[in-house]
Amino acid sequence: MSRDYEEATLFLGQWGPFQKLVFFLLSASIIPNGFTGLSIVFLADTPAHRCRLPQLANLSREWRNAGIPLEDVEGRLEYSRCRRYRLELLQNYSALSLAPGLDVNVSELETESCLDGWEYSTEQYSSTIVTEWDLVCSDNWKGPFTISVFFFGVLTGSFVSGLLSDWYGRKAVLFATMAVQTGFSLVQLLSPNWEIFCILYFVVGLGQISNYVAAFVLGAEILGKSVRVIYCTIGVCIFYALGYMLLPIFAYFIRGWKMLQLALSLPGLLYIPLWRLVPESPRWLLSQGRVEEAEALIREAARKNGVTPPDVIFGPVELEDLKPRRQQSHNFLDLLRTSNIRCVTIFSVLVWMLIAIGYFGLSLSTPNLHGDPYLNCFLSAAIEVPAYAVAWLFLRMFPRRLSLSFVLFLGGIMLLFMQLIPPDLSILSTILVLIGKFGVTAAFSMIYVYSTELYPTVLRNSGVGICSMASRFSSILSPYFVYLGAYYRFLPYILMGILTLLSGILTLFLPESFKKPLPETIPQMGKVKRIKFHSACRSLMHPVDDKEEKLGDT
């Protein structure tokens, strides 16, 4: 009687020294992803600034102080960040020994742009990439665009990481892409201009997601069934949050962007010795026909666990069963073929996109909150730990659809309440944002499991892949939601709150998958909740023949 891989390696046990070592080493490899992915929060923050006035002999100190116009910013008078009074007029009035505000109404003078650059406040930062290359005023779009470039690298890495892992192995890709992430982060310190910085940042994003995926897959393939679930939810996510929590601690003590980038990049070198400790995936070795290497690895694992392996781990029958089976050909179009799977795909893609906008938008907007930005960032990272724990508990105990909608409604409502809080209650505003971040983070963790259970085996990789890709596009857009805060401080939270609530509503129309067997074929999929607008969903694609439609909705 033939056995599958799980049965053939059952003698190893589930939680021996070998599994513990793999669990914690691979989880620890995720830590740099936490602070690399969101370091731009501090690297590209914009400090207070005003036009620089040149040191001219005939311009008195009093006139220099009056040379910057005042503007009304949310009820407060602040010096203009992008305009100054025309220098020639200031010089003329100063030469006549007139005092500003006495014989001359300074506010009526003609203004001009900051022709001599800007003066930046050093109260919070000694330097950022914004102060390095003057990414302000007419060039202020370059700040969020820098973040989008990173996430575009993440999107590209999402495409290639799976292929690279299948071709060259999980372990090789994990360490190669960790080297890419660390190496190019260090090279960024030598960037002569903003354009080169962005190109390098794209490659950092590519490496960041690739090593994350490689570690995720490697752990999932090595660890046993019971430990695998914990690794893919608690292990990976918690260690990512730990890395995220380290970011504001580094940034608090290091206020210059180059030294901060160096401090965040060097820890990647600590993972080089792990090459000898982290094993390759035996499943991948078997898929490549490298049976002797796979058996040697499993025997070494048995030695570490103190168990005796059988004389033959994989016999001829098992090896035949472990070969990939030829299945019915399916492609991307099958995700849209029938009305039921079409609606599941459309709703799932929208939910993924809206959740991603909320998660990355809130993570990037911590400098916009009242209070200390370092403390706000730390709290934003720390709130993810209980969010992941609650998500895991909800997945174990409650229906998927209601659990996901609940945390999304919680997050969306808290974000909408932000605009109702008086300015003097900044602590309450921060609490609401943290609760909103809690809900969105829990939803982001839960949606992976939920989507996996919605799609049939023949389309599961394609379905989850297209949803994940959609979330990457949203991450590219998320910096511009934060950018809107420059025009109205609450606007990003209003938009993210509305979109989060919308995602919670859309979730209610998806099928329930809790305690139901995973669908193997398209007809076995759960049905979307039918309401009046269901016919509109049918019209999004050309109708299929009645027989196929009936089969898909069964």
pLDDT confidence tier of residue 264, bands split at 50, 70 and 90: very high
pLDDT confidence tier of residue 544, bands split at 50, 70 and 90: very low
Q: Residue 25: how many CB atoms within 10 A of its CB?
A: 16
369 vs 512: CA distance, rounded Å: 37
pLDDT confidence tier of residue 249, bands split at 50, 70 and 90: very high
Q: What percent of the chain is modeled with pLDDT above 90?
A: 19
User: Has residue 198 got a pLDDT over 90?
Assistant: yes
Domains and CATH numbers, the chain: 1-39+136-326 (1.20.1250.20), 49-120 (no CATH), 334-554 (1.20.1250.20)
Phi first, then psi, for residue 54 (nearest 5°) are -65, 155
Q: Which long-range contacts (CB under 8 A, 24 or more apart) does 162-166 make?
A: 162/213, 164/210, 165/213, 165/214, 165/217, 165/284, 166/284
- Mention every residue, 6+ apart, whose C-beta is less than 8 A from residue 200: 184, 187, 188, 191
49 vs 81: CA distance, rounded Å: 6
CA dihedral 160, 165, 167, 173 (to 10 degrees): 100
Tokens 């070592």, residue? 21
Q: What angle do CA 84, 86, 88 make, to 5 degrees?
A: 145
425 vs 182: CA distance, rounded Å: 41
Instruction: Give which of 380, 224, 209 is closest to 301, Cα–Cα.
Output: 224
User: What pLDDT score does 366 carry?
Assistant: 75
111: helix, strand or coil = strand
User: What pLDDT score does 185 carry?
Assistant: 92
Q: What is the pLDDT of residues 393-410, one digit of tens each?
A: 888 888 888 899 999 999
User: Has residue 533 got a pLDDT over 90?
Assistant: no
pLDDT confidence tier of residue 194, bands split at 50, 70 and 90: very high
pLDDT confidence tier of residue 57, bands split at 50, 70 and 90: very low
pTM score, whole prediction: 0.80
Burial of residue 28, with CB atoms counted within 10 A of its CB: 0-12 exposed, 13-18 middle, 19 or more buried: middle
Phi first, then psi, for residue 256 (nearest 5°) are -100, 140
User: Has residue 233 got a pLDDT over 70?
Assistant: yes
- Mention every residue, 6+ apart, whose C-beta is less than 8 A from residue 130: 44, 45, 46, 47, 136, 143
Report the largest interatomic distance among the alpha carbons of the chain, rounded to a whole angstrom: 104
Instruction: Give which of 494, 142, 26, 553 is closest to 342, Cα–Cα.
Output: 553
Would you give the DSSP letter of residue 100?
A: B
